[in-house]
Structure 1
Amino acid sequence: MITKFEHLGIEAPKGVLLYGPPGVGKTRLVQKIAELTNSHLTVVQGADIVGPYLGESEKKLRDVFAQAQRKVTDHRASILFIDEIDALAGNREKQQQGNVGVRVVAQLLTLMDGVESRGRLVVVGATNLPNSLDPALRRPGRFDREVHVDVPGTEARLAILRYYTRGMALGDDVDLHKLAGLTSGYVGADIGALCREAAVAVIGLQLKEGLSGDQAVGMREFTEAMKHTVPALRRGLAIDVGDTRWQDIGGLDELKQTMQRVFDWPQNHQAAMHRLGVHPVRGILMYGPPGCSKTTVVKALAHQEEVSFFSINGASIYSPYVGDAERTVRRVFRQARAASPSVVFFDEIDAIVGKRQQGTQGDAVQERMLSTMLNEMDGVEATHGVLVVGATNRIDMLDPALLRPGRFDKIVYVPPPDHAARMAILRIKMRAMPADLSNADVDALATRTEGYSGADLDNVCREAALLALRHDIHATSVGWGHFEHALGVVEPSLTAQVMLPYNQAHASFGG
């Protein structure tokens, strides 16, 4: 290979930078390349280079390069692999002059410039944070090539599952193709952990029940293991949506169908949409009065579709430090793209990117947040399987730039529950409550709760149950009288006066 470069009169690459999410297989890739090319491999962790004493870090770095250089022979190349290189080569502009990090970066640049055995000694760096590296390292002549090691797709996950289960006794019901589809967002390390968790469950069952050691790992063990194995890409930012299902939400049938179509069709009917020139919906904005299940609908969508769910609200992202909020939004979108199919949910989005007020002190913050949001949402267009959902009670407070087609393509009004919806909500609430009510009683209760939101109805049922317990701690049912009393305690939150601005907004924005 070296002679081919020499024949063309060009130099072989001196360094390669691998970047991608943690656990995706960067280290394993380098190990395999060294094995396939019969090259010597020297591995060092970036954090291990940095020492507390003056000059110690630079000496360690020189020793590592010297060690890798000594392994170069006429017939065998040498690979120096620096894992987590960002730990020792951070951007010098963000460090104080004279700081150990500045000196280490300078030493690393000198050593890479001094590599003479091009093609014989190759320096490979790996990082999860390529943008945190000093820019000088990423220019030609140092890390000549940058390779993005992406999250595995379905076929790659199937291959990884086959690799980790090759020595396992699998039950006849195990469908690796199905598991590959269920493990969206899992990297290689996550899949390895999933297989170990499933095997450990079988071993635990053998020990607990005194079974013989010939039990196979079945689909049930894998399904249970998935509940305890959180993919690396979902940790920290992704949240658990619980087990909310569509049938747990009373009413809103049209909204539920819309959400299913918007998310399901691009996943399962791509050819049909492409044939008719239909582009997938990039974002949905739900607006309406509070307590009407906007958040619950999004969580049910994520649960039913078995996708990653990332939730952002003003309280979770704003901080006193300049730029923190924007970084958090970028990080959420980056992880959502890597873990797709996924849903990014902005709760109370008006508190995050409200309408800009010219001449106010908060305008600079709003400008930065809005710019970040627009850039990230525009980037969703090229990403298959990421749906952005916003929820707000005050659509009139959102910046018009967000409401243009191409950002939130679909605007949906979530109304207060009507009579039929209130009946459905009450019946759902009463599934777990031994309510001594006839169908006519439930109908009458729905009639008397005009102006009650879903959250209000939940409070009515809770108050009725508490009253029954106050009357008799051994009570086994909740009767009509308890509900009548609860209606006197819990007042409707969606009165005609409260609904006036929402009705006006509905007339203006539609949906």
Structure 2
Amino acid sequence: MAAMIQLVCLDVFPSHINPLHVLVSKYQFSHLFPNIGESTCVLLLSTQRRNSPSRADILLCAHLTTEEETPECRPVADYSTPLKLYTSKNFYRHYGFPLDTEGTVRLTSPVGLSKIVIGARSRQTFKWASSDKFSNGLLILASCQKQTLLARQGDVLLLPYHPLFGEDAAQVYQHLFDLVVLECAPVTQGVFTISTSVLVTDCRDLAQNPSVLELPNHAPMTRALTTLYASDFAHYANSLGGSSLLDNKQLLNTGFSAVLQALECRIDVRVVDIPSLTRQRRIRPKVDQASAMDADGSVFMSKNLLLKLGLFNQEWVVVSVTGLQADRNKACVPQSPADGDGARGRGGAHLAAVVVADFVKCADLDLQDQVGYVSPALWFNLSRGEPVPVSGRVVKIKRRNEPPPRPATQLSESQSRTASPPFAAELHLEGVVSPDYNCHGVFDSVLSDHFRTPRLVQQGDVLCVPTEGHPEVLSSNTEGFRRWPVLCCRVKKVCVSSEEVTGSGPIGFLADKDHTSLYMGVPVNSPVPHSSLDEALSFWASLSPPGLSNTAEHLTSILQPYSSTSSAALPGVCSLLLSGPRGSGKTTVLRAACRRLHQHLVQVDCVSLCADTPAACEVRLQTAFSRAARLTPCVLLLRNLHLLGHVQGGAEPDARVLAFLCQLINSAPQSVAVVATVCDPQELWPDVTAAFVHQVVMESPTEEHRRAMLASLSAGLPLGKALSLGRLAKQTAGFLLGDLCALVTLAGKAAHRRVLDLCFPGGVSAGQERDLRAFGVTVLLQDFAGALEQLQKSHAQAIGAPKVPAVRWQDVGGLQQVKKEILDTIQLPLECPELLSLGLRRSGLLLYGPPGTGKTLLAKAVATECAMTFLSVKGPELINMYVGQSEQNVREVFSKARTASPCIIFFDELDSLAPNRGRSGDSGGVMDRVVSQLLAELDGLHSSGDVFVIGATNRPDLLDQSLLRPGRFDKLVYVGISEDKDSQLQVLKAIVRKFQVDPGVSLAAVVECCPAQLTGADLYALCADAMTTAIKRKIRNIGEGLDTEGSALMLTAEDFAQALERLQPSVSEQDLAKYRLIQQKFTTK
């Protein structure tokens, strides 16, 4: 059962209770939660907001008290009212809760923690936490059932006071607040138990950087002396009035007010989702009522930056952007009638309020103190629809020094207290046509709720009105759109006293339901600011998706000239073909480009355009283009274009439908950009491909790109400290965005199952599972390892999923000289890339020798030890009966290796793939063309510094000699048999590592009985034969009742003896002599 709560801050909090604990009236608590006899309990406080990726549910230690025990807690007359939680002032400052915080609490049984890592931020605290005084007190508190010891990862230590900690309670709490919980297991918040392992470490180096710790509180920074700005003088000169040296009237009558108005300053601003960040408390405005603040009409900045600029909190200023594209095009391109009112109304300047806020620094979003932050709506209105800058932009800020509305108004010393914009008497809005909602719906209740708070309006602005909580918006549309859309309205006209305001009046007004009459006009077409909706601050809502930023920037540069005011000078329609593998992020990058350019995105899956007849396909296609024409300016996205035109019973697309598609693309309005996505452009007809002016190919993400994707996708997950995303990025070579999403999802599920099995072995109830999600399950390295293995198994080799084999050097016995030569060729350039600039470049390595000596095993071990992807290719697999397909297979192998770099391509049986040209018996010359293609690909590896080729063959004399020249397979390594007993013993030890051998067995004695010319495969056959003998013996003993099935299977000396009797070397003396001659031949080259 959950109860509504109300936070009440006490002026005087009991000193014997931890300031981060809460007090609850015992009588009210007993009424809501009966049968609670303890004096303390654990409550789960839930203040989670929509779109919040971070955990907002925290465990609180609540102390039940009475009015007699704590006089500050006033008696509650009505027990049915929200439960009052009495807190200290430090509680509000520490967790950053606003005064109007609402939420719920419920009783819970926290999970016992198995491990806690605590960091001390001062030398004295580290000494205190390392002493017996702290450990003894912690042990006694953990063994006491009446005490609750909470710990939360990223928070300070929430322990109660105990005399064993020290006689001075204030000093003890100071030490506790200097102890930071760096890591918890198996959940991110729980309780100490007597079985909890506690590790104390010194983290004074992190105390200087709170963002590394990600603490919920941030100490105020000391303001450093800075240089003076012109606005500083304007600030102090503006306060010269009243009892000051100058009279207010004299000040206004002089020309000094014009000087004040002319002074300006410049700051860097960034565009972020202000409404979502304020709901998540990552931006904490310093205003009286956060709910009554217009986020789309404010510039948020830190207190340091405000003091540097010499401004007041919530002061109204005039903001403008210099160097706009619209200003450069204004002289040469006339504005359309649809855009004329908005452009004249803005006039290059926009009104905004300066709001001081605290910024909570997180790993996925870096909020800096010396930068201002604006919402996408304010940037759109301020910049006249310029593309959203990804990094930042410089804006000009001027004080708003307009004359008072009435001459009798008395000026105060602070202009920010009286210079509020006037309220508009009438506000005329026009709904903006959008694919996210039905523009002809009724939005009276939505607008009424939105204008409960005074909103800044200016002629030509576009207002973003959230529709959350209004189901009539969802029911008024039948086409299916994202949940809770944002209603966009353009300000057509603003009137004061029933008269339309001209350009000589104020540049901005306030509008609310008490002072303003609202009128809705007919819907219009207009670009709109992007809205994140349910995807706020996630990878999918990013304007520059991590790992895909280059492609998003490229798409933006292509679409931007067609969306600007100078697009009339560009001939034709913007048509773009975006190709890439399924799951590579094609729709994601296009959505990011549309958001940056304020374009609507109309998505159409070509599967829905298929019909039984070509005529029906044309009708559906025409309908899609007509809908896009009604939603201009927009981008029409045709997904899976290769499926268009397929009619029932036809194997090939209909030529009539494809011709009609080309006709629609060429005749589309210029404000409609046509973008199509396809996995492989070769699946399209040449005429369709030629209809697209631009073509963009999605490249496979590199290791750095995969790391950025993983960091963004896992930003909302509590990751284990031992987890390295860089290492995980290396292991996911060849993975696309969709694969990485599946990996993160599977890892989260694996972590949840692991904690369930650990904490609730007998089963879990629905309430316990809900609480477990609130406690925060830490995703560990083992969870990602299991998920990665599951993904790699699910990928069929037909789609070419690269896989790193699990073979170590311990699995390869002997061959020490061969290992050294291989590592010098492959590992050295990876560890020392500066050697490449000196000309040291070897990309090919050829292993040759008798069969069964471990050539393939060596290549797999190199890939594992060097953390490289391993692609194993056998020669006959590439040969195809169709003309040109064999060469295409060779190209695809090398292309796959480049996308999965660093990678090793292993060609087994190379002599069957690249024999001497001119000697093959095929009439079509297939083998000659394959060899030529292989040579061309090997020569192209010099541009890819992290792709290596290893070939293995038994007969290097049969290879085409062009393969052996420098720059290709320029390093030849002979892998021979183990002739001496020491080498054979090393190989045998490596093989039996995975077997259970009787301790009485001497492997050296077994080797002494072996023939001299044994390969690694022969020794493995010896062990396998011994294992077969042991299995037969065990089956016989079980049948006779001498053994049980549960006992271990052990290899005995007798098993090896029987296997040795049947052992025959696979390489004869004559064959070995031939291989020695071949070795001498290639060694002398």
Per the normalisation by structure 1, the TM-score is 0.87
Is residue 108 from structure 1 mapped to residue 668 from structure 2 by the alignment? no
Task: Give secondary structure in 1 for the equivalent of 2:799.
Answer: coil
1:158 to 707, 713, 724: 707
Q: Where does residue 198 of structure 2 map in the other structure? A: none
Deviation (angstroms), 1:234? 7.5
Deviation (angstroms), 1:233? 11
Task: Give secondary structure in 2 for the equivalent of 1:55.
Answer: helix
Q: Supply the AA of the counterpart residue of 1:153.
A: T
Q: In structure 2, how many angstroms separate the alpha carbons of the residues matched to 1:467 and 1:312?
A: 35
> Residue 869 of structure 2 contacts residue 902 of structure 2 at CA under 8 Å; is this kept in 1?
yes
Q: In structure 2, how many angstroms separate the alpha carbons of the residues matched to 1:223 and 1:469?
A: 33
2:754 to 187, 201, 205: 205
> Residue 18 of structure 1 contacts residue 124 of structure 1 at CA under 8 Å; is this kept in 2?
yes
1:63 to 598, 612, 623: 623
Q: In structure 1, how many angstroms separate the alpha carbons of the residues matched to 2:797 and 2:706?
A: 17
Structure 1 pair 313/454, CA: closer, same or farther in 2 (3 Å)? same
1:26 to 586, 608, 621: 586
Question: Is 471-480 or 495-504 further displaced after alignment?
Answer: 471-480
* 1:220-239 matched pairs, under 5 angstroms: 220-230=782-792, 236-238=799-801
Q: Where does residue 36 of structure 2 map in the other structure? A: none
Is residue 127 from structure 1 mapped to residue 687 from structure 2 by the alignment? no
Q: In structure 1, how many angstroms separate the alpha carbons of the residues matched to 2:920 and 2:788?
A: 51
* 1:238-387 matched pairs, under 5 angstroms: 238=801, 240=803, 242-274=805-837, 276-279=838-841, 281-358=842-919, 360-362=921-923, 364-387=925-948
Q: Supply the AA of the counterpart residue of 2:965.
A: R
Structure 1 pair 334/56, CA: closer, same or farther in 2 (3 Å)? farther
Deviation (angstroms), 1:210? 4.1
Q: In structure 1, how many angstroms separate the alpha carbons of the residues matched to 2:645 and 2:1012?
A: 63
Deviation (angstroms), 1:6? 4.3
Q: Where does residue 502 of structure 1 map in the other structure? A: 1075
> Residue 918 of structure 2 contacts residue 928 of structure 2 at CA under 8 Å; is this kept in 1?
no
Which structure is richer in relative contact order (CA contacts within 8 A, separation 6 or more)?
A: 1
Name whichever structure is richer in helix by fraction. 1
Q: Supply the AA of the counterpart residue of 1:159.
A: A
Q: Where does residue 466 of structure 1 map in the other structure? A: 1028
> Residue 233 of structure 1 contacts residue 335 of structure 1 at CA under 8 Å; is this kept in 2?
no
Q: Where does residue 93 of structure 1 map in the other structure? A: none
> Residue 5 of structure 1 contacts residue 12 of structure 1 at CA under 8 Å; is this kept in 2?
no
Q: In structure 2, how many angstroms separate the alpha carbons of the residues matched to 1:504 and 1:58?
A: 72
Q: In structure 2, how many angstroms separate the alpha carbons of the residues matched to 1:371 and 1:62?
A: 49
Structure 1 pair 311/154, CA: closer, same or farther in 2 (3 Å)? closer
> Residue 13 of structure 1 contacts residue 145 of structure 1 at CA under 8 Å; is this kept in 2?
no
Structure 1 pair 470/195, CA: closer, same or farther in 2 (3 Å)? closer
Q: In structure 2, how many angstroms separate the alpha carbons of the residues matched to 1:57 and 1:40?
A: 25
> Residue 586 of structure 2 contacts residue 677 of structure 2 at CA under 8 Å; is this kept in 1?
yes
Deviations along 1:67-103, one digit per CA (max 9) or x if unpaired, are: 222322xxxx21111223233489xxxxxx9953433
Deviation (angstroms), 1:390? 1.2
Q: Any unmatched runs of 5+ in structure 2?
A: 1-560, 761-771, 1038-1042, 1044-1048
2:636 to 72, 76, 80: 80
1:167 to 716, 729, 734: 716
Q: Where does residue 191 of structure 1 map in the other structure? A: 740
Q: In structure 2, how many angstroms separate the alpha carbons of the residues matched to 1:414 and 1:363?
A: 35
Task: Provide the aligned C-alpha RMSD in A.
Answer: 3.0
Q: Supply the AA of the counterpart residue of 2:613.
A: Y
Q: Supply the AA of the counterpart residue of 2:713.
A: Y
> Residue 730 of structure 2 contacts residue 867 of structure 2 at CA under 8 Å; is this kept in 1?
no
Deviation (angstroms), 1:337? 0.9
Deviations along 1:386-434, one digit per CA (max 9) or x if unpaired, are: 1111111111221222222222122221111231321111122233141
Structure 1 pair 233/99, CA: closer, same or farther in 2 (3 Å)? closer
Structure 1 pair 3/192, CA: closer, same or farther in 2 (3 Å)? closer
Q: In structure 1, how many angstroms separate the alpha carbons of the residues matched to 2:617 and 2:641?
A: 13
Q: In structure 1, how many angstroms separate the alpha carbons of the residues matched to 2:1056 and 2:1015?
A: 16
Deviations along 1:100-120, one digit per CA (max 9) or x if unpaired, are: 3433332222222223x33x1
Structure 1 pair 161/330, CA: closer, same or farther in 2 (3 Å)? same
Q: In structure 2, how many angstroms separate the alpha carbons of the residues matched to 1:7 and 1:168?
A: 44
Percent identity between matched residues is: 30
Q: In structure 2, how many angstroms separate the alpha carbons of the residues matched to 1:63 and 1:3?
A: 23
Q: Supply the AA of the counterpart residue of 2:702.
A: G
Name whichever structure is richer in strand by fraction. 2
Structure 1 pair 3/303, CA: closer, same or farther in 2 (3 Å)? closer
Question: Is 128-137 or 326-335 further displaced after alignment?
Answer: 128-137
Q: In structure 2, how many angstroms separate the alpha carbons of the residues matched to 1:52 and 1:352?
A: 47
Task: Give secondary structure in 2 for the equivalent of 1:500.
Answer: helix
Deviation (angstroms), 1:219? 2.9
Task: Give secondary structure in 2 for the equivalent of 1:387.
Answer: strand
Q: Supply the AA of the counterpart residue of 1:43.
A: Q
Structure 1 pair 5/89, CA: closer, same or farther in 2 (3 Å)? farther
Q: In structure 2, how many angstroms separate the alpha carbons of the residues matched to 1:345 and 1:3?
A: 49
Aligned length, in residue pairs? 493
Q: Where does residue 997 of structure 2 map in the other structure? A: 434
Q: In structure 1, how many angstroms separate the alpha carbons of the residues matched to 2:1063 and 2:657?
A: 65
Q: In structure 2, how many angstroms separate the alpha carbons of the residues matched to 1:359 and 1:393?
A: 18
Q: Where does residue 37 of structure 1 map in the other structure? A: 597
| Structure of greater Rg | 2
Task: Give secondary structure in 2 for the equivalent of 1:147.
Answer: strand
